[in-house]
Structure 1
Amino acid sequence: MTELLVVIILGIVEGITEFLPVSSTGHLILAGELLGYDSARWATFNVVIQLGAILAIVVLYWRTFWAVGMGLLRWDPVSVRFVRNILIAFLPSAILGLLLIDRIEEMLGSPGIVAWALILGGIAILAIERWAKPGQVVGVAEIPLAKVVGVGLIQCLSMIPGVSRSGATILGALSLGVERRTAAEFSFFLAIPTMLGASTLGILKHREALMAQGGQELMYIALGFAVSFVVALVVVKWFIGLVGRSGFSPFAWYRIGAGIIALVWLGMR
């Protein structure tokens, strides 16, 4: 398989899975095993192309970000609470990520961890869908500070490959009494500082390798970025509509099935 095709496939996988509760990192790791490429070489690529999916959120919700920005200039309480909630929820993963970056990168090379995390995460989603009470908190700015901190701490679980950052934050918010759509949008907005931080950290740590690989590697990153951006635009719109109709259980069953198939396949190699 040509490297160009690998780039396009990984961009599609990232765009589809970044905001669904199925783990984009886990799918990229399993894709690496399935396609048989050197996952260590593509590790930084996989992190940086996530910014393409993040840009899709900025484009889709530009009116929200514009309103918040204008509100901050007037020191509007709603805009201030919106930004405060995003930043506070981001802090736990930022601190833990800096402390554990080497350990996290070690786990990125383990598809077995991904498979088990997919299964256990699917079971957790089914449990929360069944027992969590309908959320009453509507609007990102209206989430109480204690619940914001709780979501931020829960997001740290997503450092385990296969857990899913979006899944952890969305289901964590639901379990804490946040309404479905608000939980999903809070997860989308929280992804912006989280993935910007992760990408910046990855680039700084591997900057020498990136520079040594030259212009072709940068071209691959640009292409993967563009593909993930376009795919994520479509997926996020679809996801918001699906959540309102069907909840999160379809993703839970997908995770369980994908995890079982991955375990069987890994065991047969």
Structure 2
Amino acid sequence: MDLHYLTVILLGIVEGLTEFLPVSSTGHLILASELLGYDSATWAMFNVVIQLGAILAVVVLYWRTFWAVGMGLLRREPVSWRFLRNLLIAFLPSAVIGLALHDYIEILLGAPQVVAWALIVGGIVILLIERAVKEQRFHGIADIPMVRVLAIGFIQCLAMVPGVSRSGATIMGALMLGVERRTAAEFSFFLAIPTMLGASVLELLKKGDRITSAAVGWDSIALGFVVSFIVALLVIRWFVGLVSKHGFAPFAWYRIIAGIAALIWLGWR
């Protein structure tokens, strides 16, 4: 197989594996660009758009939830409206701040050292939160009060620093604000839909006219999309089951080890 398509498949696997785990998919894709030696700027839009494959996995796995919410909205059921309200409120901070700071965020995407340190610091923070959080008051997305939902939305914005992890920031923020583990994880899945869709649309609007002339064309994006979709389907259910029983500490230790290894490798190369 052509080396280019092997890279496409590998990046699709990385995206599908890491998008919903609290380990930073963007950070892993940046480190992969350094490890494999390809031009990260050329692949920047590819890395954003294939995230939609992972997002589609959420829609497929939770279609019954979305169907029930949709029917509830038509019947004007309060719980369905609160579910939608909470997703939109949590999405709002990242939409406003992400649009305002887009150019600065792109600069950080070219800094693998930032990713390595963010992995380490994030891992330590997860361990501290895991030990500190005891009370779990909210067991459904629709039950979370608006003020706490907005706070989770602002905490998600920390993930604009590559290596922090969007899902990790959302989940840990939710845990600190009294949300039960499984609900926190699922809230991060659902919140990924508007967040990553918005990021992909913004990237397409800014750079879509250049994609056909770039080394990474629509065929590569389509392949990466499919690979990330299939891998994410497998990862999501496994992840929910794991954190329900064992918490997030295994991912924290992985982050710390991966961050230290990345710093050593970046210093020696």
Shorter-chain TM range is: over 0.9
Q: What are the ranges of 5 or more consecutive residues in structure 1 without an aligned counterpart?
A: none
Structure 1 counterpart of 2:36, one-letter code: L
Partner of 2:222: 222
Map residues 127-138 of structure 1 onto 2, 5 A cutoff.
127-138=128-139
Distance in 1 between the 2:205 and 2:187 partners? 28
The alpha-carbon deviation at position 134 of structure 1 amounts to 3.0
Q: Distance in 2 between matches of 1:5 and 1:63?
A: 35
- Counterpart mapping for 1:46-61 below 5 A: 46-61=47-62
Cα separation, 1, equivalents of 2:27 and 2:21:
12
DSSP-derived class of the 1:127 partner:
helix
The amino acid of 1:47's aligned partner reads: V
CA distance, structure 2, for counterparts of residue 134 and residue 49 of structure 1:
37
Could you say which residue in structure 2 is the equivalent of 1:267?
Answer: 267
Matched with 2:69 is: 68
How far has the Cα of 1:142 moved from its partner?
Answer: 0.6
- Which residue of the partner structure matches residue 161 of structure 1? 162
Counterpart CA distance in 2 for 1:92 and 1:136 is 24
TM-score, normalized by length of structure 2?
A: 0.98
Asked if 1:20 corresponds to 2:21, the answer is yes
The separation in 2 between residues aligned to 1:213 and 1:35, in whole angstroms, is: 18
Q: Output the CA distance in 2 between the equivalents of 1:197 and 1:113.
A: 24
The answer as to whether partners of 2:42 and 2:214 remain within 8 angstroms in 1 is no
Mapping 1:72-221, distance limit 5 Å? 72-213=73-214, 217-221=217-221
Matched pairs, number: 268
Q: Deviations over 1:78-124 (max 9, x none)?
A: 00000000000000000001101010011000000000000000000
What percent of counterpart residues are identical?
70
Distance 2:140 2:66 in 1: 14
Task: Tell me the residue number matched to 1:235.
Answer: 235
Q: In the alignment, what sits opposite 2:245?
A: 245
- Tell me by how many angstroms 1:212 deviates: 2.7
* Distance of 2:247 and 2:135 partners within structure 1: 12
Query: Which AA in structure 2 matches 1:176?
Result: L
User: One-letter code of the match for 1:50?
Assistant: Q
| Conserved 8 A contact 2:148-2:177 | yes
Unaligned runs of 5+ in 2: none
Q: Distance in 1 between matches of 2:101 and 2:63?
A: 33
Q: In structure 2, how many angstroms separate the alpha carbons of the residues matched to 1:37 and 1:210?
A: 16
User: What per-residue deviation string (whole Å, max 9, x for no partner) do you get for residues 15-63 of structure 1?
Assistant: 0000000000000000000000000000000000000000000000000
SS of 2:60's equivalent in the other structure is helix
Q: Shift of residue 218 of structure 1?
A: 0.1
Tell me, in whole angstroms, the C-alpha distance in 2 between the residues paired with 1:106 and 1:185.
30
1:148 to partner: Cα distance: 0.1
